[in-house]
């Protein structure tokens, strides 16, 4: 038997698993989705409700084809993404790009700057959250969180006070010179739990998506900073990971639009509907001109798709990030969605904290 390397074995395994998954989907799951749509019983009802809770609301709005197309996409996304990931991995290995990519540095003071910057954002938001949670506690009967959070009851007003006090205490403890990163992770978990309470009433908010991811990952950077003396360089692989995650988010945003709506997303009605749903004077003016609506839709998706290029071509950093500032600012001006300044572009600070030079011995 020829000596096959583990990497090639993995490739064959991925290929076989995916063929089996595709066969099971078309031979079995597709029919189960149709049955669920028609209101028939299925052992998969609970799984669908957990993984895609909107199914049972949206099925009254869209035809069964919409959901079949959606589920087929899930399957093909897994196939496509796994092969793209494997392709990028092998390409990066061949080019020696992969190792180089993670080798980057920053300074202790820059890490501390990012810590304060992220915390200021959370502390500022916590004031609004505190009031919102107190208010929502009056209507806690409507609280329907997903997954693990369903085992966490909505806190009473008294408990809300104490958990916020705990948040501020943990935030301060994260500045300890040793083991501060543990308190940072605890702070991050608490922030995620707060968001789960806020979004457990059906309405999701994307305002803090990238800010949250970056905050969680910051714990790893803080851990690296604790390993060195104040004047030394800090291994900043976690900073790179934050950049990859933010770029992934933008890529997913664009792909989601294209995969769910296809070319329909570029039709003027799409932008017009969103502009009418979130009316502002300038947005309503633009909604009158179909050509402007289509152009803006195309520009938005093009920019979101191209964001990931920042990882491979650092020279594109300024135009891409500037595009991001304009994109989020105009989303706010045209639809009053998000805010100004947006946390989505404030997080771009992570592209300005690296130091390429290796420390001198």
Out of 25, 29, 117, 199, which residue is the one contacting other proteins (CB under 8 A)? 199
User: In this complex, which beta carbon is closest to other proteins, that of residue 30 or of residue 274?
Assistant: 274
From residue 218, alpha-carbon distances to 310, 331, 350 in Å are 20, 27, 10
% helix, strand, coil for the chain, step of 5 = 75, 0, 20
User: In this complex, which beta carbon is closest to other proteins, that of residue 113 or of residue 237?
Assistant: 237
Out of 114, 155, 257, 348, which residue is the one contacting other proteins (CB under 8 A)? 257
Q: Distance between CA atoms of 329 and 349, rounded to whole angstroms?
A: 16
Out of 35, 78, 309, 311, which residue is the one contacting other proteins (CB under 8 A)? 78
User: In this complex, which beta carbon is closest to other proteins, that of residue 71 or of residue 171?
Assistant: 71
Give residues 113-172 in contact with other proteins (rule: CB under 8 A).
Answer: 135-139, 141-142, 145-147, 149
Q: Distance between CA atoms of 273 and 141, rounded to whole angstroms?
A: 32
Report the nearest approach of other proteins to the CB of residue 1 (Å).
30
Report the nearest approach of other proteins to the CB of residue 178 (Å).
20
Q: Decide if residue 7 touches other proteins (CB under 8 A).
A: no
Return the structure tokens found at 177: 């010179």
Return the structure tokens found at 305: 């798709």
User: In this complex, which beta carbon is closest to other proteins, that of residue 270 or of residue 349?
Assistant: 270
Out of 30, 34, 175, 248, which residue is the one contacting other proteins (CB under 8 A)? 248
Q: Distance between CA atoms of 286 and 296, rounded to whole angstroms?
A: 10
Q: Decide if residue 256 touches other proteins (CB under 8 A).
A: yes
From residue 248, alpha-carbon distances to 78, 79, 95, 301, 318 in Å are 15, 17, 21, 14, 18
Report the nearest approach of other proteins to the CB of residue 273 (Å).
5
User: In this complex, which beta carbon is closest to other proteins, that of residue 9 or of residue 206?
Assistant: 206
Q: Decide if residue 178 touches other proteins (CB under 8 A).
A: no
Give residues 258-287 in contact with other proteins (rule: CB under 8 A).
Answer: 260-262, 264-265, 267, 269-270, 272-274, 276-277
From residue 321, alpha-carbon distances to 34, 184, 335 in Å are 43, 27, 21
Are 278 and 298 in contact by the 8 Å Cβ rule? The answer is no
Q: Decide if residue 102 touches other proteins (CB under 8 A).
A: yes
Q: What angle do CA 257, 312, 73 make, to 5 degrees?
A: 25
Cβ atoms within 10 Å, residue 185: 18
User: In this complex, which beta carbon is closest to other proteins, that of residue 186 or of residue 238?
Assistant: 238
Out of 29, 52, 303, 332, which residue is the one contacting other proteins (CB under 8 A)? 52
Q: Distance between CA atoms of 43 and 25, rounded to whole angstroms?
A: 15
Q: Distance between CA atoms of 303 and 330, rounded to whole angstroms?
A: 13
Are 215 and 122 in contact by the 8 Å Cβ rule? The answer is yes
Report the nearest approach of other proteins to the CB of residue 268 (Å).
9
Report the nearest approach of other proteins to the CB of residue 361 (Å).
23
Q: Decide if residue 18 touches other proteins (CB under 8 A).
A: no
Are 346 and 211 in contact by the 8 Å Cβ rule? The answer is yes
Out of 1, 20, 41, 57, which residue is the one contacting other proteins (CB under 8 A)? 57
Are 261 and 254 in contact by the 8 Å Cβ rule? The answer is no
Q: Distance between CA atoms of 42 and 56, rounded to whole angstroms?
A: 13
- The footprint of other proteins (CB under 8 A) covers 50-54, 56-58, 60-61, 70, 73-74, 77-78, 81, 102, 135-139, 141-142, 145-147, 149, 192, 195-196, 199-204, 206, 209, 212-213, 217, 220, 237-238, 241, 244-245, 248-249, 252-257, 260-262, 264-265, 267, 269-270, 272-274, 276-277, 337
């Amino acid at each position: 038997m020829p000596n096959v390397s583990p990497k090639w074995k993995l490739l064959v395994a991925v290929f076989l698993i995916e063929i089996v998954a595709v066969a099971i989907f078309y031979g079995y799951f597709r029919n189960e989705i149709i049955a669920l749509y028609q209101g028939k019983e299925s052992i998969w009802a609970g799984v669908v409700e957990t993984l895609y809770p909107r199914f049972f609301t949206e099925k009254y709005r869209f035809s069964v084809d919409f959901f079949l197309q959606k589920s087929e996409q899930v399957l093909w996304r897994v196939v496509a993404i796994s092969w793209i990931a494997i392709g990028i991995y092998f390409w990066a290995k061949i080019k020696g790009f992969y190792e180089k990519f993670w080798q980057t540095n920053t300074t202790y003071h820059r890490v501390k700057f990012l810590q304060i910057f992220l915390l200021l954002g959370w502390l500022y938001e916590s004031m609004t959250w505190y009031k919102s949670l107190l208010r929502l506690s009056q209507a806690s009967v409507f609280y329907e969180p997903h997954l693990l959070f369903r085992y966490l009851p909505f806190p009473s007003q008294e408990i809300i006070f104490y958990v916020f006090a705990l948040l501020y205490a943990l935030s301060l403890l994260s500045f300890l010179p040793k083991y501060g990163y543990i308190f940072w992770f605890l702070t991050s978990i608490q922030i995620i739990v707060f968001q789960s309470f806020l979004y457990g009433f059906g309405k999701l908010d994307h305002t803090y998506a990238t800010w949250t991811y970056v905050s969680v990952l910051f714990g790893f950077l803080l851990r690296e900073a604790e390993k060195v003396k104040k004047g030394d360089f800090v291994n900043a692989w976690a900073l790179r990971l934050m950049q990859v995650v933010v770029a992934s988010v933008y890529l997913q945003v664009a792909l989601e639009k294209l995969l769910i709506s296809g070319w329909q997303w570029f039709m003027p009605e799409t932008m017009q509907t969103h502009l009418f749903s979130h009316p502002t004077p300038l947005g309503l003016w633009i909604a009158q001109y179909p050509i402007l609506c289509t152009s803006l839709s195309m520009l938005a998706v093009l920019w979101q798709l191209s964001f990931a290029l920042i990882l491979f071509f650092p020279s594109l950093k300024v135009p891409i990030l500037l595009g991001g500032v304009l994109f989020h600012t105009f989303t706010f001006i045209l639809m009053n969605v998000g805010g100004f300044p947006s946390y989505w572009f404030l997080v771009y600070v992570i592209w300005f904290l690296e130091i390429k030079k290796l420390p001198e011995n």
